[in-house]
Each structure stands twice: as structure tokens, then as C-alpha cells.
Structure 1
């Protein structure tokens, strides 16, 4: 059963970006509130990988503001919260927390060393079996080549250079006990810091572009929205989770009294049709008969498709 985080979920504001570091918060917001964001984290040991990214999850300012307005999240000045939290901790709590991290790293290192020894033993056993089998064959040259290849596999070490001869089966029976623990980087600051920030650490609503009313309107209609830069628009609108559905619309916002070049509409409609999507143009309508106190914005949308020959 998936864990439900306590509300409001703290969204970390770091260097002008809105980030989520908790996997429980990420899955909850995607499942319950149609907020997908963009994964921007990479693996420390594979920094060049850019296909399968991980935490943290970066939110658009529109997504962050929408969550705050719904009371689901709050914006936290992460630098201030971290400094204040570390100052408030007692030295004994800091020491205990660091010792726990070291123990976890040492445990991970021992598990990794055990797996390495197991692979070494399996490779050496295969080598001995191949040597015994090749004695009965009439192809000594091929047997020598196979033994050399198996020896190279036995000596292969992905994490540290091998300090022992790999040709001795007895040497593989002694397990390696690492003295230096593996570095563990916690995904969140709590524990030891409190999960909910203080009032002084909260920030005001994020600044959003003029397209925010259209974003909020489509979100209220059940659409999943993601950045649309790769298709030359502001948002991509999905009828369901992007892992299951293709996007239906290329979304572009405009002011209600903004002049729009006809060629821009033609280009958008043709582009949307070319990638099997609709071109959605929308904006907030101004109603003079409704007072400002009651709210005078309602969003209207138009879907355009290319039908020319």
C-alpha cells in the first residue's frame, strides 16, 4: 500500500526552482492531483544517463501555485529551513544521525562486497569446469583461448581494483570486509529535521505567467499538463496519465483582447494535425458586468484542426 504524505506537502524552493525530493509526495500528487512535473535527478555513478532520470521532481510555477491554492502544498525556502533546522538540533542528535548514516553505508558496502565475491566464485568455478572439459578435447588452442577469457571475467571488478590473484579458487573463499562505508545521501532532510516547516520559512505564492488561468482551467477539467517546449507550445494536455495516453492538445494561451496573426493560427492547427493532436487556443474572458470582488475571469478554449487541401 502506497504511503500518503501529510498535508500540506512542502515544496522546496531552491535557486528559483520548485522541487520535490520525496517519492511518496511525487506518487501522491501524480495519482490524486494530476501533477506530473519533470524528473531532473541523475544517478551519481552514471552521470551521463539522461533517459531514465530520478528524483528530485521539478514543478512548473503553475503547478506549484495550483497546489498551494488548493491547500495541498506549501512553498518552503529550503536554504533557510535547513539552516534553522540544523541550528536547532542538539549535538547529540547530530552525532546519532551521522552515525546512523555511516552504519547504513557500511551495511551497503558489505552487501556489495558479498555480491562481488559471489560473482568471483561463480566465474572461477566455471573456469575450473572448462579446464576439466578441455582436457578431454582435441582442440588445445581453443581451450587455451577460453581459459584466458574466463580468467579475465574472474578478475573483472566494477568498483575497485583486484588486490588478489584471480586464478586461485581458495583465495575467493575469504570475504572482503570493507572499512570505508559507502556514501549515503538521504533523499529528504527529515529526519532529523521536522517534516513540516515553520511559518517563517514559508514563501508567498509563486509568480506565474499570463497563461495560468488556462492551465488551471484545463487541470480542473481532468487533464494532465506538461511543458510543451518540444512541440513549440506552452503545454501538452493529456486526457489521462501520460504513461498511458498520448497528448490530445497543443495548448497556447492568449489574452482576451490580444491580436493574433491568422498565420499563427494556421501554423498551430497544421502543426497539431501533423503530430496527431489538436491545437488548443484559450484565454481568460473579461466580463464587465461582473464585479472584481466576485471574480471576472472565465476561461474559453477553442480547438483548431487543419482541414485544408
Structure 2
């Protein structure tokens, strides 16, 4: 089961492997919402967590491949556990435990630091080997350059040979720790307890069930998904969804889906605006409405007679 963590109505996936499964096996895209660890002050390229649309999260839960989870807040825990927890060991921000003022490192932290040191030494040896191979390949050229310099200065006798560069390399080579490659975790164990959320019922972290707009959007979303399309959010084009014939990494969207209740009037200016926008971005606008029996009807809008 894929864990989907809820936070104030947002559905987040923290594991890279789960994000891959969602896209590869279930044709659901979502959108990355986290900053990259090495470049946290930019938003051109984002990373985990993967933020799912409410319709995407509900679909995964409904077909039985994911479970919705929420974090149990401290005020919701048993007060008796709080009192007993004061006698237990806690964990500080650096990964060690605390007992009064004395910090006791965890075995996991010691193992991690040992692996980090072994990785650094391995990378240093690889860098040293690469530097040595480079100097060996350039040694003849370096010797020819030095001889030419001596000839240009009119030196007839060769100077005493300098210590070989390869012999000096072992002592002079420096590999800064900030340049080493480190493995960034793509998932972590939650630090607080979680509980399963029933997607059928509305809660503060999952307020969507029962809302008419969400129910209509979900019926449209599932019907398009069952037809084999890839679907993403469509707010940047003024619609509810963008509909792709294949993976959005390879295809442009063909349709802008606009969801509307079948018994509510749709202002003419909204229809004209949606049609003009779809024409400008070379996409077909779909007016989608879900009937009471679950059937979904589509009406396409396209400008005609334009030269």
C-alpha cells in the first residue's frame, strides 16, 4: 500500500519509489512541491514531496493501492502517555538521544557516520587515482614543455631534476569534504504517530468528501482516467483539468476540461472566454458534467471560420 500523508487538505507522497509507481503503473502525475536540498532558494526545479490532486488521492484509495494517513497531534494523544513519556528517552535534532543534559548517540547514527567516513575515503581514493592518471598521461608533454623553456632561456645544462609530480601527489592531494557526493534519502520514518483516514468522510485534513464541486470533478476525473488519458491540474489554462493522450513528458495537452453541474446555468461570457483561451493555446475545451446516475457527458468547444 502506498502511504499518502494528509496535511490540511493536501495529499503528499514522500517516497520517490512510491511516486514512480504512481506515475508508471497508475498514470497519475501529481506535481512536485518540495525544494531541492542543494538548491533550496530556487523554484525552477522542485523535488519531493509529490503533491497529488484530491481526485488523484481519492482514486488511489478507491482502487485499493494507497492508504490516506494523518499525523496524530500531541493534544490528541492520551494525556497519561504524556506523563509516562517524560521518563522515556527523547531524540534531539542531531539524531542523538538525550538523558538529562547528557547526549547518548544512537547506534543508527554511529553506523551512518561510519558509512559517511568510508564513503569519503573511497571518493578520495577515486579522486587521487583520477588525478594520477591525468598526470601520467600529461607527463611527457610536461617534460617537453620544461625542456623547451630551458632552451628558450639559453640554458645548456639541465637543472637537477625536481621531485616527481607523481611522488608529491599523494601528500599534496586534497579532497574537500564539501565536494564529496552524499546519498540523499528519498523517504524517512515519520517522527510522530499516524492514523488511517477514511476517505469517505470529511475531516479537517481531508475536507473534500461531500462537497458537490469535488464530487463532480472526481466523476469527470475518473471517467477520463478510465479512458486511458493522463490528467493534471488545469488552473494555468483556466480549467479544472488538462487532458493528455500520453505522459505529459512526451505530449502536449489536447483538452482543457471544465467541470460544471448539469442543473446549474453556465454564463455565456464564461463559455466565450474558455473557447477563446482554448483557441489561443491550440487546445479543445471540454464542458464536462456528471449526471446523477454517474454518467459523464462532454461538449467540445472550438472556434470555426477563422482564417
TM-score, structure 1 normalization: 0.67
State the distance in 2 between where 1:139 and 1:236 align: 71
CA distance in 2, matches of 1:276, 1:110: 55
Residue 294 of structure 2 corresponds to residue 300 of structure 1: no
1:202 aligns with 2:208: no
**Coordinate RMSD, CA, aligned:** 4.0
Give structure 1 stretches of 5+ with no counterpart. 1-6, 142-166, 287-295
Give the whole-Å Cα distance in 2 for the aligned partners of 1:96 and 1:302. 62
Is 1:59 aligned to 2:61, yes or no? no
What residue number does 2:249 align with? 243
Contact kept, 8 Å, 2:72 with 2:195, in 1: the verdict is no
Asked if structure 2 preserves the Cα contact closer than 8 Å seen for 1:39 and 1:53, the reply is yes
Is the aligned partner of 1:172 residue 2:166? no
Tell me: CA distance 1:271–1:177, structure 2 relative to 1, closer, same or farther (3 Å): closer
Provide the aligned length of Structure 1 versus Structure 2.
Answer: 259
SS at match of 2:225: helix
Contact 2:127 2:175 in 1 (8 A): no
Deviates more, 1:38-47 or 1:121-130: 121-130
Paired residues of 2:36 and 2:45 also in contact (CA < 8 A):
no
Distance 1:61 1:108, change over 3 A: farther
State the shift of 1:11 in Å: 0.8
TM-score computed with the length of structure 2 as normaliser: 0.68
Kept in 2, the 8 Å contact 1:225–1:238? The answer is yes
Tell me how far apart the structure 1 counterparts of residues 289 and 282 of structure 2 sit (CA, whole Å): 23
SS in 2 for 1:282: strand
Give the 3 Å change call, closer, same or farther, for CA 18–280 of structure 1 in structure 2: same
Counterpart pick for 1:262 among 258, 268, 274: 268
* Preserved contact between residue 105 and residue 184 of structure 1 (Cα < 8 Å): no
| CA displacement at 1:50 relative to structure 2 | 4.1
Q: How far 1:15 sits from its partner (Å)?
A: 5.4
Gaps spanning 5+ residues in structure 2: where?
78-84, 92-104, 153-163, 200-205
1:25 corresponding residue in structure 2: 18
- State the 1:52 CA deviation: 4.3
Q: Which has the larger radius of gyration?
A: 2
What SS class does the counterpart of residue 67 from structure 2 fall into? strand
Given the superposition, is the C-alpha separation of residues 183 and 119 from structure 1 closer, same or farther in structure 2, using an over 3 Å criterion? closer
CA distance in 2, matches of 1:228, 1:301: 17
Q: List aligned pairs for 1:90-105, cutoff 5 A.
A: 95-105=106-116
Q: 1:106 to 1:13 in 2, by over 3 A?
A: farther
